[in-house]
Structure 1
Amino acid sequence: MTDRPPRPARRTRTPRLQRGIPLRAILPNAVTALALCFGLSGIRFAIGGMWDTAVVMVLIAAVLDGIDGRIARLVRAESRFGAELDSLSDAISFGVTPALILFLWSLHDVPRIGWLVALVYALFCALRLARFNAQIDQTEQPHKSAGFLTGVPAPAGAMLAMVPIYLWLVTELPLFREPMLVAPWLFLVAVLMVSSIATWSGSALKLRQRIRFEAIAVLVVLAAAIVSAPWQSLTAIALLYLGSIPFSVRSYRRVRRLRAAGPAPASAAEPNAREP
């Protein structure tokens, strides 16, 4: 009886580790990183006393933040890495930067209270984004499933927070630079960001085919107004957005009642996975 040679050991496949991020994800993440660079540049210009340029840096960051998610969905490059980078960029560009700009512009005159309010604003912005990241994988999100956001999003919060600067740039009145006016306003915006009220999202405002041309015309008029009279236009847009919050709350309650009464309406919007 001959000895059989030992069988070779069976190779076990080891799971392949994912190296880096896909090539198609470079573009949306690069846009997010560019938004972060503009947000940080706002601090640099605020230190130099160039308040209008500092505000413009934050606004450009907001525009870039609005398109990075759409680019990611367009090239099918949505990832958890992109969502985390987007939240980090938002926390700095729309939380830390506006807080420092407003502190250097006005709140430094009352250093203790002013710094406390600036800290509260930046902290509440970070808490809002942390709440969004914690709920990103949850299937049961009443606001999101109905096409609404929870609280004021970070870019809109930054736009609202800088309304006193818009008014000051338009009128040059010292009243709008008073810390006793700026501090309560900044605290109110911080509370709106971290609140649980329903606010409209871009997906909730999907328009029917027959009125999309009119919507494009409105956007063109808004763009022309911002170019010709930026601070007046931004003030009007910010106040209109603030005034729309009660209507969004009422609209969400109506949608919730319809959902409780029967199947979801056909016009219910798809949730936005990257909207903070």
Structure 2
Amino acid sequence: MATISAAMVKDLRDKTGAGMMDCKQALNENNGDMEAAVDWLRKKGLSKAAKKAGRVAAEGLIGAVTAGTRGVLVEVNSETDFVARNEQFQGLVKMIGQVALDAGADVEKIKAAKVGAVTVDTAIADAIATIGENMTLRRVAELKVGQGVVSSYLHNSVGDGLGKLGVIVALESAGKADELATLGRQLAMHVAAANPSAIDAAGLDPEAVRREKDVLADKYRQQGKPENVIEKIVESGLKTYYKEVCLLEQAFIHDGGKSVAQAVKEAEGRVGAPIKVAGFVRYALGEGVEKQESDFAAEVAAAAGQG
């Protein structure tokens, strides 16, 4: 039996909105497995927000750089939000993005690349020494198309190509580049807001689909529904699930009366050629990173020699 800590219970509560005792029972029933506990709560109808994103736990900036048929996203983390407003740090993130545009999505290759007389790794070390705070190049993503555009969108922007949430979208088409770029930015804004998991159902993680089917089936099984009815309900439920998590099936944020797929199809008339959504990447600052909460007032007092 796994030891269930208060922190684990709190984390599950933050993710699901369920009661503390329900969260503790869910973790006990599933031997401390967080994902299984989330599913357990959903099956019991106790999860109020199973898909709610966890709190962002790291500071820094997302950088986006695009150039025609190529585009990259980079995430550079810092210890505090103050550094994200620092011009030197912002310049560092922009520089790393430019290097990534040529070097690709390999973090180690980017760190080893030279900018003038120094490597990117050295430039990061110099910034750490100057600003006095730890910084890391956490991750990089790259999209390319043979013909078409890669567009970007930065939310909570603090400067050109810099923000707290970044998206790049790749569109393959032989059509007008300017019209494609406009559509690409609209789609990037949609991805930022709607956070799809994949372009279509074929791109979804099979394990995620299996879990969704299990949750739906168990939920109605507990209600006493016969198996042949459950099978039909699950298939219907999956269609709803796909509309929630697949980009092309989601309601377009710029016109809720149509799906993204319909919006792309309509745009083909303006672009003058077929359009294929070739890929997208969405980076939210600090997602998946745990950061110890601290008493900011106590830190300031200690720095001033008062603590």
TM range (shorter): under 0.3
Give the TM-score normalised by structure 2: 0.22
| Greater per-residue helix proportion | 1
| Greater per-residue strand proportion | 2
Give the TM-score normalised by structure 1: 0.24
